[in-house]
Structure 1
Amino acid sequence: MTDIAALLAPLVALRHDIHAHPELGFAEHRTARVIADALRAAGLEVHEGIGGTGVVGVLHHGSSSRTVGLRADMDALPIDEKTGLPYASRHEGCFHGCGHDGHVAMLLGAAQALAADPSGIDGTVHFIFQPAEEGQGGARAMIEDGLFERFPCDRVYALHNWPALPAGTIATRVGAIMGAADKFHITLRGRGGHAAVPHDTNDTLLAAASLVQQLNTIIARNAPASANAVLSVTQIHGGHAHNVIPGEAMVAGTVRTFDPAVQDRIEERMRQIIAGIEAGFEVSAELDYDRYYPATINDADAAEDALTIAATVGTAQRAPEPAATSEDFSFMLQARPGAYIWLGQGAGENPPPLHNPHYDFNDAVLETGLRLHLALARHWLAPQE
């Protein structure tokens, strides 16, 4: 049996090293090299450069053709860290504010443990280290680069730390667990001019103000009352002088949904409102609507299995509702059955949330995450008579 306790101190040190040297999406060259070196040192087969900077470690044991994939994301965020930690980011404007350094450490620990003791495994485990999760579609890039053709996965799982849950608590749910993330960017164009003679202009700022008000009626009046959906306007830009009505203004924001039919209805209604703005204010409008992350939808059997397995590792609970935040593991779950799992890491009162400059991954949950990875692999690849 592998001495998991002996793995923990080196994993903490590795996590701190990655934290101190964060890299943004598709630029995780040092991180990928550290991962690849650790996998080789454990005796695993290693493949690099998948979908850009992605790494896959492969463990074969036994004669079964069954396979399972375990994914960790490895990119950082474009945020300045304010933790004051001794291992704080050495790179200004780049910070592991979402805990991907911890995800890497947990999955590497599981790979090391299984390589040292593959008992209970009959099949193949693919350890997937994914780049560019933070809004750049690294999962999609790996899939388009042949991830599942080269490394077949009958099931695929991913863990993500969750500060809102107590440390060590494991949660997931059947169906939607994270939202679809759409981006919209609307450019309004008219005839600008002097603010003292507005009748000679087509006022793009007045049009933008009316547009923002109308967009905020869509969820309340056009989405079913039972639907979980969010539309948030997050940017308004236009003008540069107090006495000039600008000829161009911009409105942008995000839409979060869990049901494709609701997603379709929101975009349809947005286009109708924009057409009305064009007619009512005599401006032209251009909508760029980008469905850049689908909803993260757990396979029912995989999620139920994950809850059963989680109870053997720690405190397991069924998540009562999905989160409106998004995750590009959704692309992997569109391609293969599997489940996305939250691992609680909250400690004390009001722990900093994800994407906060004071956030840090809780090293106390490394062992729980490592053991959960092991249990998921051993459950799916258990020898069959």
Structure 2
Amino acid sequence: MNNVLNLAEEIKEWLIEVRRDFHMNPEFGMEEYRTSRRIVKYLEEMGIEYKKGVANTGVVGIIRGKENGKTVALRADMDALPIEEKNQVSYKSKIKGKMHACGHDAHMTILLGAARLLEDMKDDLKGNVKLFFQPAEETVGGAKPMIQEGVMENPKVDVVFGLHVAPEIPAGEIGIRYGKMNASSDTMKIVIKGESTHGAYPHSGVDAIVIAGHVITGLQTIVSRNIDPRNSAVVTLGAIEGGSRGNIIANKVEMIGTIRTLDPETRKKVINRIKKIVEDISQSLDGKGEVIIEEGYPHLINDDDIVNIVKENAGKILGEDKVRIIESSSLGVEDFAYFLQKAPGAFCRLGCGNVEKGIIHDGHNCNFDIDEDCLSIGVALQVQNVISILNS
């Protein structure tokens, strides 16, 4: 067995205890006060320098190696989801309507485990390690305010690593992807304005509902007719509201939706097409259309050279046959992408599924759980990643 994995296995019971404590006490984004206090407690016990209150509830630790050199950052997200847990386990969530249903309890545990091992070997490290405990991945994107508060500087981060537990991959395996891994997301609000009149005299007004119908149809052509079929994009309208009574022509319709793309050029093209379709169709039917775009998370694009390091390390720890290439990008989003805009790095998938144990449910599910055997594997991988960058 790989030496680093041996070290991680030695603290496995501690890892399970830490993870279950986090799991039983979930907190929403920007409300991770207890979680933050627990992280600080663990760092203090390890003798690791830290700063708390970063981006509200975030914590940043730093392990300074014996020699000056590069700085590697490891990131874990902290927040839970508004889900009522249905698992009947001893470590079930104690907070009604809140659950770590996406594995962030495991991510924090793995980072703390990596910190514990790296602190013990700091005299052999030729550089520094930053530990990012990040709030609000599921909501407002806590990575961005952490970066704005300077976590990537002083010392400047040269490489950043992140991981996410993956129930679709068996525990004991790692999933990696080169290049584009996760999509960007933008929220769109469309406002169609017409002119109200009595339903018996439709010629006297401008029907915003009719205009909205044409706009909806027009928007469906963006993916099928404007985007290269070899690229990916999603344009989804999830809510529509307009009108007041059945015999009154509506003077206003509002629609809300989401845009997902996998590269900046496609993102720009989709948004421009949405605006043109809404404005031109509305004008052609004597109304007025407006599009309001709320920019969301950017694309998560891995650095291929850093992915190669993860691949090599995962192969050393688990065997090359336990490393799988993820063939397709995800249209889901991940705010680790903000860190990758500031430094090269890699985000990978840590297998946590186990069919025999009934651990088969996807994230954001009330029955989500992990095979806790993945915890020591995640620790070993992150520690080996750090060693590869600092001591190569």
TM-score by length of 1: 0.93
Q: Deviation of residue 235 (structure 1)?
A: 1.5
In 2, the alpha carbon distance for the partners of 1:33 and 1:247 equals 52
2:229 aligned residue: 225
Mean Cα deviation higher: 113-122 or 357-366 = 113-122
Instruction: Say whether 1:316 aligns with 2:320.
Output: no
- Per-residue deviation, 1:323: 0.8
1:75-110 deviation line (CA, Å, top 9, x unaligned): 112333333433333333332121111100111111
Q: What residue number does 2:373 align with?
A: 364
Alignment deviations for residues 258-308 of structure 1 (CA, whole Å, 9 cap, x no partner): 121111111111111011222133222221112211100111211111111
**Cα gap change, 1:281 to 1:316, in 2 (>3 Å):** same
- What 5-or-longer segments of structure 1 have no aligned partner? none
- Do residues 49 (structure 1) and 53 (structure 2) align? yes
Alignment of 1:29-48 (within 5 A): 29-48=33-52
* 1:313 and 1:372 in contact (8 A); partners too: yes
Does the C-alpha gap of structure 1 residues 202 and 361 become closer, same or farther in structure 2, counting only changes over 3 Å? farther
Show the 5 A alignment for 1:121-270. Answer: 121-270=125-274
Selected match of 1:334 from 341, 355, 359: 341
Q: Residue 364 of structure 1: CA displacement?
A: 2.3
Judging changes above 3 Å, is the alpha-carbon distance between structure 1 residues 241 and 313 closer, same or farther for their aligned structure 2 residues? farther
Distance 2:208 2:94 in 1: 44
1:179/1:256 contact within 8 Å kept: yes
Pairwise CA distance, 1:311? 0.8
Whether the aligned pair in 2 keeps the contact of 1:67 and 1:126 (CA below 8 Å) is yes
CA spacing shift, 1:85–1:285, aligned 2, 3 Å: farther
Secondary structure, in 3 states, of the residue corresponding to 2:153? helix
Query: Structure 1 residues 17 and 197 mapped into 2: Cα distance closer, same or farther (>3 Å)?
Result: farther
In 1, Cα distance between equivalents of 2:279 and 2:385: 51
Confirm or deny: 8 A CA contact 1:307 1:318 kept in the other structure: no
User: CA 1:255 to 1:118, structure 2 compared with 1: closer, same or farther past 3 Å?
Assistant: same
Alignment check: 8 A CA contact 2:70 2:127 kept: yes
Question: How high is the sequence identity, in percent, across the aligned residues?
Answer: 34
Would the aligned equivalents of 2:275 and 2:290 in 1 still touch at CA under 8 Å?
A: no
Equivalent position of 1:374 in the other structure = 383
One-letter code of the match for 1:343?
L
Residue of structure 1 aligned with 2:350, choices 340, 343, 350: 343
Q: 2:122 and 2:192 mapped to 1: Cα distance? A: 60
Task: Check 1:249–1:86 CA distance in 2 against 1; reply closer, same or farther (3 A cut).
Answer: farther
Q: Which deviates more from structure 2 when the two are superposed, residues 72-81 or residues 336-345?
A: 72-81
Q: Per-residue deviation at 1:72?
A: 0.5
Rounded Cα–Cα distance in structure 2 between residues aligned with 1:82 and 1:244: 46
- Give 3-state SS (helix, strand or coil) of 1:216's partner: helix
Cα displacement (A) at 1:13: 2.1
The number of residue pairs the alignment matches comes to 383
Q: CA RMSD in A?
A: 2.0
Tell me how far 1:254 sits from its aligned partner.
1.2
Q: Which runs of 5+ in 2 are unaligned?
A: none
1:22 aligns with 2:31: no
Is the contact between residue 101 and residue 368 of structure 2 (CA under 8 Å) also seen in structure 1?
Answer: yes
Could you tell me how far 1:147 is from its partner in structure 2? 0.8
Give the conservation status (yes or no) of the 8 Å contact 1:239–1:249: yes
Secondary structure (helix, strand or coil) at the match of 1:213 reads: helix
Deviations 1:13-48 (A, max 9, x none): 221221222111111111111111101101111111
Q: Kindly state the Cα deviation for residue 357 of structure 1 after the two structures are TM-superposed.
A: 2.2
1:301 to 297, 305, 327: 305
Decide which moves more: 309-318 or 321-330: 309-318
Q: SS at the partner of 1:363? A: coil
Q: CA-to-partner distance for each residue in 1:164-217, whole Å, 9 max, x for gaps?
A: 222222122221111111111112222234444433332222222221221111
Kept after mapping to 1: 8 A contact 2:196/2:206: yes
State the alpha-carbon separation in 2 of the partners of residues 205 and 362 from structure 1.
50
Secondary structure of 2:341's counterpart equals helix
Which of 259, 275, 282 is matched with 1:278 structurally?
A: 282
Are the equivalent residues in 1 in contact too, given 2:359–2:371 (CA < 8 A)? no
Deviations 1:317-362 (A, max 9, x none): 2221211111111110010011111112222178211112221233
Cα separation, 2, equivalents of 1:275 and 1:184: 14
